[in-house]
């Protein structure tokens, strides 16, 4: 039963993804992908370079790891709400 419904659901999933991507391109401003800012002289696309891109990716990664650690701590500390609050404030 589930194997026969897997393919249509997968097709629906990919159609939704493609719709969101294609619709998102209607809001894109492609003039920002090339050229330089007139005031600062920095490129409009990735103005902080590869180092800025990697720093932003690292911040997002460690934020996700922090939220995962918070969820794990909350699961293990049942009945110890004050320790969870200390964990949130301390991080």
pLDDT of 36-78, one tens digit each? 888 888 888 888 889 999 999 999 999 999 888 877 777 766 6
Q: Report the SS3 class of residue 77.
A: coil
Place of tokens 């003039």: 31
Helix, strand, or coil (residue 43)? strand
| pLDDT confidence of residue 59 | 95
Q: Please name which of 85, 82, 57, 53 lies closest in space to residue 65, comparing C-alpha atoms.
A: 57
Give the model's pLDDT for residue 2.
61
Given this model, what pLDDT does residue 3 score?
61
Q: Which helix (H) or strand (E) holds 33?
A: none
What phi and psi, each to the nearest 5 degrees, are found at residue 70? -65, -45
In the predicted structure, residue 17 carries a pLDDT above the cut 90: yes
What is the pTM assigned to this prediction?
0.52
pLDDT tops 60 at residue 1: no
Cα gap 41→47, rounded to integer Å: 9
């Amino acid at each position: 039963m589930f194997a026969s419904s897997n393919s249509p659901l997968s097709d629906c999933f990919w159609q939704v993804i493609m719709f969101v991507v294609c619709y998102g391109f209607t809001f894109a401003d492609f003039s920002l992908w090339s050229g330089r800012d007139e005031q600062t002289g920095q490129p409009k696309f990735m103005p902080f370079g590869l180092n800025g891109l990697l720093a932003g990716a690292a911040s997002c990664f460690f934020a996700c790891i922090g939220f995962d650690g918070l969820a794990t701590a909350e699961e293990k500390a049942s009945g110890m709400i004050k320790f969870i609050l200390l964990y949130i404030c301390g991080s």
